[in-house]
A and B are shown apart, each in its own frame.
Chain A
Amino acid sequence: MLARNLLTRIWLTFKQQRFETIAVTIVCVGLTVTALIEAFRLNSLNVPLSCLQSYQGGYVDPYQAPITAAQAHCNDLAKSFYDLRQSLDMSLVQLLLLFAPILAGIVVGAPLVAKEIEQGTAPLSWALSGSRRRWLLGKVLAGVVLLAPLMLAVGLAANVLEGALNPSLNPYASFSNYLGRGIPDVFWALAAFAGTFALGTILGRTLPAVVLALVVCFFVRAAWDSGMTHFVLRSFAVPQSQESQQSQQQQGYVVYGPGGPAYADLNIYYRSYIDGREVTDAEVNAWYNQNMVCVPIAVPTPDASATPDYSNMGNIATACEAPTIDQSHFPQQILYVIPGSWYWQTVALESGLLLLGSLFCAAVALFRVERRRPY
């Protein structure tokens, strides 16, 4: 009986929030389908990984032998891949995928209580319901039931797209854009939902709750990465393995163009050492200033008879070295990372933190609903 009543309230909540429910469903389904289509377009180019790795972005090295027809074809394929990857519609889809969870959470969460207070229907419900907690539970569950499957679909589609965008990476074993795809999408949406829901309960007005939630959510989202890196993931980071470094260098070639290279590992921090002693960046700089000797270098040109021209060569017109010091005494930098293989553990940790935040916001909403006036 209780379960049936709860299901009834969930269904009626959907009907009360008909516009928000339909709008969020349409947008999320549309976005999922669009992301899958974009991934299909990239995959259907069938560009070999080697072509992507060897592609120089259209730059022709004047010192290399002329390229073969096969290499030219390879470059064409890679170019079409990168063109599509950097196209406006692809960027738009990626942007929407990034913000969809937060926006959906805000749209669904804001009116749940605030609209009842605005439209004066809260007294009707609260007079009927001895327990406002139970009334609130129906509303919260309606939001969760709506958002969780939709965001899961969006997140999984984003994973498929991520795999297509970075063919050398396994989306489930890499941290490339890991908070904007997959399972975290569900928890971002729930956190935004719970936060906005709490704001709507406190303010009792839908629009101010939406505006404030937008500001708060985007601030939290922007600060999340560095916050996690500095305060949470730091204690889990391990020195990057040599294999991973090499693999990372290879992967770096794959991602060409805006956005920079995508790596499997999540870089957390690095430490520098000189002769086994940990040193600061300033000490490393001081070491280089003291020991490095920089000299201009002669760059051969295709035409051996021509005079080398350094005017446009920038930094590479000089070469620095420490001729008297053995390589083993050079400053060493060790990168501490969360290895890509820890993807699921890290996602579980961050999703758990988002869930905790959501539960906290729900508790705030409950506390407020228990005490507030229904108008």
Chain B
Amino acid sequence: MGAGIGASTISTVSAALTAHGLTKRFKRKVALDAVDITIAPGSVTALVGPNGAGKTTLIKVCMAFERPNAGHVEVDGVDPWKHRSEALRRVGYVPQTPAVYRGLSVEEHLTMARSLHSGFDADYARRRLDQLAIPLDQRADTLSGGQAAQLGLAIALGTRAKVLLLDEPLANLDPLARREFIQVLLDAVKSDGSTALLSSHIVTDVEEACDGLIILGAGKVLLDCPLHVARTAHRLTDSETPPPGATAVGSFAGKGTKRMTLWRLPDAAASGGAGSPDAAASDDDASLEDVVLGYLAAGRGTFGLQLN
């Protein structure tokens, strides 16, 4: 427990990140609409949604960059708006655009991080960068997009934070850089036991990396479940005839001219999860991309589930 923080600051921590009734409005636009999420410690959760869904806003609220209009959020048991210093000690953040200081070298970025964040592990960050053969004496503004993103990740990891919040870090990376980024992230999460919330709209990448899925659409949580549940509890068909007992989620344009419909199976709907993570996915399961598309279509009101 850090200095200046009382026992009352930290609630009983059973989740790495929780949000209850979290609402954020920008004038008339509702960016987050009574969002409720809980992220288990040690998990890697994908935060998926189209542009404007509220992914970045959710992360910014967790970083105390934005003040919620209603509800509250806790990062490792600390409310970032009420106890910013304590909350930020527990968070490593990778911003959407890998912003680096133009005049500083990679090493100087680590020096700066060490001077700002007590307990910043520069050696750890340096090792991560060494593994990727990123020269420490290179000026940061001459790094490639992938290298800059890796620098951002190395800084976030160097904080040895319990919770990592990654705001679409893969968006501007080429496939190889994306894969390397995810690899470094997974290694770190595995070795440190930290929790990561990875915002992205590249579903195929998060599919490999994550064990939880949150789909946001128009500021609302459309789906929040383990990743394997998302796959096994849904079916995709090209007809409007539902699988037995299934509920239509959403309809969207499939490959070619077919209109596809995503169905949610009844046992999944009842239990909120189906099978175990180790259960093998069958050919009938919807792909993660299908699930995301189906829920996004539902969020746009194409048809399907009544989402609150």
B31: interface (CB < 8 Å) = no
A119 to B95 alpha-carbon distance, docked (Å): 13
B89, B102, B111: the one contacting A119 at CB < 8 Å is: B102
> Which of B85, B86, B102, B116 has the largest count of A CB atoms less than 10 A from its CB?
B116
Q: How far is the CA of A121 from the CA of B112 in the complex (A)?
A: 12
Expressed in whole angstroms, the Cα–Cα distance for A120 and B103 within the complex equals 14
- Among B65, B103, B118, the residue within 8 A (CB) of A16 is B103
Residues of B within 8 A of A120 (CB): 95, 97, 99
**Is the CB–CB distance between B95 and A8 below 8 Å?**
no
For A373, give the chain B residue with the smallest CB separation.
Answer: B65
Please name the residue on chain A nearest to B83 by beta carbon: A130
Q: When chains A and B are docked, how far (Å) is the Cα of A6 from the Cα of B111?
A: 12
Whether A128 pairs with B99 at a CB distance below 8 angstroms is no
A277 at the interface (CB under 8 A from B): no
Q: Does A127 contact B (CB under 8 A)?
A: yes
- A9 within 8 Å of B by Cβ? yes
Digit string of A131-158 for contact with B (CB within 8 Å is 1, else 0)? 1001100100000000000000000000
* Contact A123 to B93, CB < 8 A, known contacts A130-B84, A130-B85, A130-B88: yes
Indicate whether B91 reaches chain A with its CB closer than 8 angstroms.
Answer: yes
Which residues of B lie under 8 Å from residue A119 when comparing CB positions?
Answer: 99, 102
Complexed CA–CA distance, A129 and B86 (Å): 10
State whether the Cβ of B63 lies closer than 8 Å to any Cβ in chain A: yes
Query: With A and B bound together, what is the CA distance between A120 and B99 in angstroms?
Result: 6
Q: Which secondary structure dominates chain B's binding surface?
A: mixed
Number of A-B contacts (CB under 8 A): 83
Residue B202 is within 8 A (CB to CB) of chain A in the complex: no
Interface string of A168-199 (1 = CB under 8 A from B): 00000000000000000000000000000000
Instruction: Indicate the member of A123, A127, A129, A134 with the most B CB atoms within 10 Å.
Output: A127
Residues of chain B within 8 A (CB-CB) of A373 are 60, 65-66
Contact B108 A123 (CB under 8 A): no
What's the minimum C-beta distance from B157 to chain A, rounded to whole angstroms?
12
Q: Kindly state whether residue A230 has any CB partner on chain B within 8 Å.
A: no
Interface flag for A18 (CB, 8 Å): yes
Tell me the chain B residues, 81-122 only, with Cβ under 8 Å from chain A: 84-86, 88-89, 91-93, 95, 97, 99-104, 108, 111-118, 120
B149 contacts partner chain A, Cβ-Cβ < 8 Å? no
How far apart sit A6 and B118, CA to CA, in the bound complex (Å)? 12
Assembled-state Cα–Cα distance A9/B116 (Å): 8
Determine whether A54 belongs to the interface, using a CB cutoff of 8 Å to chain B: no
Instruction: Let me know if A124 is at the binding interface, CB within 8 A.
Output: yes
Partner of A15, one of B89, B108, B118, B159: B108
For A200, what are the chain B residues with a Cβ–Cβ distance below 8 Å? Answer: none
A242 at the interface (CB under 8 A from B): no
Q: Which residues of B contact A26 (CB under 8 A)?
A: none
Counting CB contacts under 8 A, is A125 at the interface?
yes
Report if B217 contacts A (CB, 8 A): no
Chain A residues with CB under 8 A of B111:
8, 12
With an 8 Å Cβ cutoff, the count of chain B residues facing the other chain is: 33
With A15-B104, A373-B65 known as contacts, the answer to whether A129 contacts B117 (CB < 8 A) is yes
- Any A CB within 8 A of the CB of B54: no
Task: Determine which of B63, B66, B102 lies in contact with A127 in the assembled complex, contact meaning CB atoms within 8 Å.
Answer: B63
Interface residues of A in 83-139 (CB under 8 A from B): 119-121, 123-131, 134-135, 138
Compute how far the CA of A172 lies from the CA of B159 in the bound complex, rounded to whole angstroms: 54
Whole-angstrom distance from the CB of B77 to the nearest CB of chain A?
A: 16
Q: Which of B65, B85, B97 contacts A131 (CB 8 A)?
A: B85
Beyond A123-B65, A127-B91, whether A12 also contacts B112 by CB under 8 A is yes
Is B152 located at the chain interface by the 8 A CB criterion?
yes
* Residues of chain A lying within 8 A (CB to CB) of residue B104: 12, 15-16
What are the residues of chain A within 8 A of B117 when measuring CB–CB? 128-130
Q: How far is the CB of B201 from chain A (nearest CB, A)?
A: 20
A324 at the interface (CB under 8 A from B): no
A135 B116 Cβ-Cβ under 8 A: yes
Q: Is the CB of A9 within 8 A of B85?
A: no
| C-alpha spacing A18/B139, complex, angstroms | 14
Q: Please encode chain B, from 52 to 70, with 1 for each CB lying within 8 Å of some chain A CB and 0 for all others.
A: 0000000010010110000
Q: Does B46 count as interface, using CB distance less than 8 angstroms?
A: no
Q: Which of A8, A124, A130 contacts B155 (CB 8 A)?
A: A124
Q: Which of A326-375 contact B (CB under 8 A)?
A: 373-375
Please pick, from B99, B100, B115, B120, the residue contacting A12 in the complex, using a CB distance under 8 A. B115
The verdict on A124 contacting B103 (CB below 8 Å), with A12-B108, A12-B112, A131-B85 known, is no
A136 to chain B, nearest CB (A): 11
Contacts of B66 in A (CB 8 A): 373
CB-based contact B159/A374 at 8 Å: no
Question: For residue B66, which residue of chain A has the nearest CB?
Answer: A373
- Max chain B C-beta neighbours (<10 A), residue from A123, A130, A131: A130
Q: Decide if A246 is an interface residue (CB 8 Å cutoff).
A: no
Q: Which of B125-164 contact A (CB under 8 A)?
A: 152, 155, 159
Please judge, given known A-B contacts A5-B115, A8-B115, A18-B103, whether A123 and B95 are in contact too, CB under 8 Å. yes
Residue of B nearest to A9 (CB): B115
Q: Are A127 and B93 in contact (CB under 8 A)?
A: yes
Cβ contacts under 8 Å, B115 to chain A: 5-6, 8-9, 12, 138
Given contact pairs A5-B115, A128-B159, A373-B65, A123 touches B99 in the complex (Cβ within 8 A):
yes
User: In whole angstroms, how far apart are the Cα atoms of A120 and B141 in the complex?
Assistant: 13
Which B residue sits closest to A119, measured CB to CB?
B99
Is there contact, CB below 8 Å, between A128 and B113?
A: yes
Q: Which residue of B lies closest to A7 (CB)?
A: B115
Report yes or no: B88 in contact with A127, Cβ–Cβ below 8 A: yes
- Residues of B near A374 (CB, < 8 A) are 65
Question: What A residues does B100 contact at CB under 8 A?
Answer: 121, 124
A15-B116 in contact (CB<8A):
no
Q: Which residue of A lies closest to B63 (CB)?
A: A127
Kindly identify which residue among B60, B88, B108, B152 contacts A129, using a CB–CB cutoff of 8 Å.
Answer: B88
10 A-B residue pairs with Cβ-Cβ distance under 8 Å, sorted by A, are: A6-B115, A12-B101, A12-B111, A12-B115, A16-B103, A124-B93, A129-B88, A138-B115, A373-B66, A374-B65
The 6 closest A-B CB pairs, nearest first, are: A130-B85, A120-B99, A127-B93, A129-B116, A5-B115, A8-B115
**Interfacial residues, chain B to chain A (CB-CB below 8 A):** 60, 63, 65-66, 84-86, 88-89, 91-93, 95, 97, 99-104, 108, 111-118, 120, 152, 155, 159
